[in-house]
Amino acid sequence: MTREPAGDTGADDGDSVVYDLDADCTAEDVSENQPYLAEINGIVDYGVFVDLSESVSGLVHESVLEGTFAVGDELIVELESVRDNGDMAFEPADVGDYTLESVSHDYSLTGTNRLDANVGEQIHVEGEVVQVKQTGGPTIFHVADEYGVVPCAAFEEAGVRAYPQVAVGDVVRVTGTPEHREDSVQIEVDGLSTLEAEDADEARERIDDAIDERAKPHDVEPLIDWPAFEKLRPNLEEVATLLRRTVLEGRPIRVRHHADGDGMCAAVPVQIALERFIAEVHADEQAPRHLIKRLPAKAPFYEMEDATRDLNFALEDREKHGQQLPLLLMLDNGSTAEDVPAYETLTHYDIPIVAVDHHHPDPDAVGDLLDAHVNPYLHDEDYRITTGMCCVELARMIYPDITDELRHVPAVAGLSDRSKADAMEDYLELAREEGYDKQRLQDVSEALDYAAFWLRYNSGDQLIQDLLQIDNGDEQRHRELVSFFADRAREEVDDQLDAAMAHLEHEDLDNGAHLYRIDVENYAHRFTYPAPGKTTGEIHDRKIEETGDPVITVGYGPDFAVLRSDGVRLDIPNMVSELEAEIPGGGVSGGGHLVVGSIKFVKGKREEVIDALVEKMEDAELDDALSSAAPIDD
């Protein structure tokens, strides 16, 4: 191999150029007839041994040496020969005045997408360190390049941190050998160095450009033709891009969703789509399990209890497993002022927040705290576009191969939230084509609600997937499980209403609506299914069917009230704001949809708050075209 001298070296006319190999240079970087700076590392009777880099060394034979030498002396040498076994021989180079020119190793990089084809062979990978995990044996560096993320095992000694100077966020060059470890591919590290200055900038730019391209969402046709949904499409594409980029960068994702049917129809498809995309990106088969967590939330907003627990787990994972802090994905909640304290807690750390929701939002309150926000109200639409409907399309943008498993899910989401959207008939027809008639869809909805109640704070991943029949579940088990859960749910609702209906209070409001009230604290079974919100909703549905007139139903306890309305033009978020201002010391808060929501207050102000609430309901206009589109939030 012949190296042509570099162009202008900055040396004076007549000066020679001597090449100084960087520490990571190999024999491939050494050319004949070129002078190199070497350092003597040993002296023997037949000559001196010299180092040109960490891996390039050889002998200068005593027959070509003049004078005396000591270990550590510098010597200018040229390559004389390379033996069949790879041993290199050098000879002194005749140079006068010279200028040093650094030589970098010319790496031939292997992308993480070609590891299987190079198992057992030494390769070079450049990428960003996205996780550093110390095990009882090696240190595992997870390195992300343009194509994916690969674990790289570096061993110093058992339990001792290898390359302690390397941190998450550094751009590194890894030299090592890909090997199969169980069903994953892992690089056994021979050398690992941090890139600096221009080398780091060049590698980072190359990786960022590739990630920008790969993060783009898939261009999928919506499952149905729905002009109202098209308004939300750009926002959903923005979220899909952000989530795909998060996966490509190796950052964990924490999904929080409302613990009801629509919330699960939103969260589970997105969870599975992300898991499958993570599996494509990461060489480690355990990555999907470690990088995405789905957790239900009982409240229709992000509670401080959930936020502090999420933050604590994230900080522990960073400390124990070297993970980056996660992105928080809020689904079917997260749009209101009630979310602000929890969000503000996370702003003290590098935790992006994204919300996809259909509750009435407070954009002025949450806008600056969210990295992306999807909500039909932001586009002059309303809650009839459910979060589950949106998130099925979001999941398809992330991983379109999931489409066939999700065609029935928007109909389940719509029935769960009692959506009166024009598109419901199209979604029901789409589900019928997949073998789901309306009764079966209703059973799935009831079963999800029942399971969510008993799972409480557990995600119940496999159970919920079986109930939704996603991820190629067992068809027979799905039908039997749905039937069992739905029947149990209805039986327990009947038991609850048998006890509660006798205590229902009725009042004819001046605006012509029926008002029904029930003290769910004293006249309904506690700590069992259905919860107060569901109990109120079931009573409301029965009274709608019984009367055929505009109906408002209020279920209340010592410090809360849940509301349902059909045929009355309520604005519950606005009513909450007015009550908060009108009743000093009432501790009023809450919200939800326009005609479906919940209110909290201090126990001692219950009578005053309920009376003021009834007055506002009595002043509301009737609207036979307006009906509730979502279940009450428990």
**DSSP assignment of 325-382:** PPEEEEES---SGGGHHHHHHHTTSS--EEEE--SPP-HHHHGGG-SEEE-GGGGT--
Q: Give the model confidence (pLDDT) of 133-169 as tens digits.
A: 999 999 999 999 999 999 999 998 898 999 999 999 9
Q: Do residue 234 and residue 372 come from a single domain?
A: yes
Q: Which residues of the chain have pLDDT under 70?
A: 1-14, 624-634
Q: Do residue 514 and residue 578 come from a single domain?
A: yes
Q: Do residue 78 and residue 116 come from a single domain?
A: no
Q: Give the model confidence (pLDDT) of 165-183 as tens digits.
A: 999 999 999 999 999 988 8
Tell me, yes or no, whether 626 lies in a domain.
no
Residue 36 belongs to domain spanning: 16-103
Q: Do residue 421 and residue 281 come from a single domain?
A: yes
What was the pLDDT predicted at 593?
Answer: 78
Q: How many domains does the chain have?
A: 4
**Domain final position from 39, 74, 103:** 103
Residues 414, 419, 421, 422: is their CA dihedral positive or negative? positive
| 180, β-bridge pairs | 185
| Helix/strand/coil for 459 | coil
What was the pLDDT predicted at 628?
Answer: 43
Comparing CA positions, the residue from 179, 52, 65 lying closest to residue 118 is 179
Tell me, yes or no, whether 183 lies in a domain.
yes
User: CA 592 to CA 573: how far, in whole Å?
Assistant: 7
Q: Do residue 83 and residue 133 come from a single domain?
A: no
Tell me, yes or no, whether 4 lies in a domain.
no
Q: Do residue 230 and residue 210 come from a single domain?
A: no
Backbone conformation region of residue 334, classed left if phi is above 0, alpha if psi is from -120 to 50, else beta: left
End-to-end CA distance of the chain: 75
CB atoms within 10 A of CB 51: 16
Q: Do residue 67 and residue 206 come from a single domain?
A: no
What was the pLDDT predicted at 457?
Answer: 86
Tell me, yes or no, whether 8 lies in a domain.
no
How far apart, in Å, are the Cα atoms of 434 and each of 293, 346, 397, 410, 469?
29, 42, 21, 12, 11
Q: Do residue 76 and residue 145 come from a single domain?
A: no
Q: At what angle do helices 233-248 and 387-398 cross, to 10 degrees?
A: 50
The reported pTM is: 0.83
Q: Do residue 390 and residue 476 come from a single domain?
A: yes
Q: Residue 552 is part of a domain; what is its CATH number?
A: 3.10.310.40
What was the pLDDT predicted at 108?
Answer: 85
Please, what is the Cα angle at 315 between 311 and 318, to 5 degrees? 140
Tell me, yes or no, whether 1 lies in a domain.
no
Q: Do residue 276 and residue 409 come from a single domain?
A: yes
Tell me, yes or no, whether 219 lies in a domain.
no
**Domain final position from 81, 103, 125:** 103
Comparing CA positions, the residue from 426, 470, 425, 424 lying closest to residue 444 is 470
Q: Do residue 311 and residue 443 come from a single domain?
A: yes
What was the pLDDT predicted at 14?
Answer: 56
User: CA 535 to CA 549: how far, in whole Å?
Assistant: 20
* CA atoms within 13 A of residue 525's CA, in its CB half-sphere: 12
Tell me, yes or no, whether 492 lies in a domain.
no
**Domain final position from 103, 123, 149:** 103
Q: Residue 451 is part of a domain; what is its CATH number?
A: 3.90.1640.30
Tell me, yes or no, whether 157 lies in a domain.
yes
Q: Do residue 127 and residue 229 come from a single domain?
A: no
Q: Residue 39 is part of a domain; what is its CATH number?
A: 2.40.50.140
User: CA 21 to CA 24: how far, in whole Å?
Assistant: 8
Joined tokens for residue 588: 């009023």
